[in-house]
Amino acid sequence: MPLYEYYCPKCTSKYEMLRPMGRSDEPGTCPKGHGNGARTLSMFAAVAKGGNGFDALDAPSSGGGGCGCGGGACGCGH
């Protein structure tokens, strides 16, 4: 089951809940018992080992790619 982040506007608490994907958009009950928590955007980072033994985050930002961003304004210089 995925872990989702929620925010309770009544007590301003942030909390996490394990829920099935089909129930992810339903309001969540905060630890203080308020039942009107809304799901928030979760930020996360992922690190993968490349075939050369280096972490993807250790890859140089120029000279053949390596960041895996696919272009755009990602801040890596691509």
List the beta bridge partners of residue 3.
18
pLDDT score at 37: 94
The per-residue pLDDT for 22 is: 93
Q: Which domain, by its residues, includes 31?
A: 1-61
> What was the pLDDT predicted at 67?
59
CA distance 50 to 55: 6
Number of domains in the chain: 1
Q: pLDDT of 39-78, one tens digit each?
A: 998 887 777 776 665 555 554 554 445 556 555 556 665 5
In a domain, 9, yes or no: yes
Per mean pLDDT, which range of 7-11, 16-20, 24-28, 45-49 is the poorest? Answer: 45-49
- Assess if residue 45 is contained within a domain: yes
Angle made by CA atoms 10, 11, 14, in degrees to the nearest 5:
110
36 assigned to some structural domain: yes
Structure tokens at 63: 């000279």
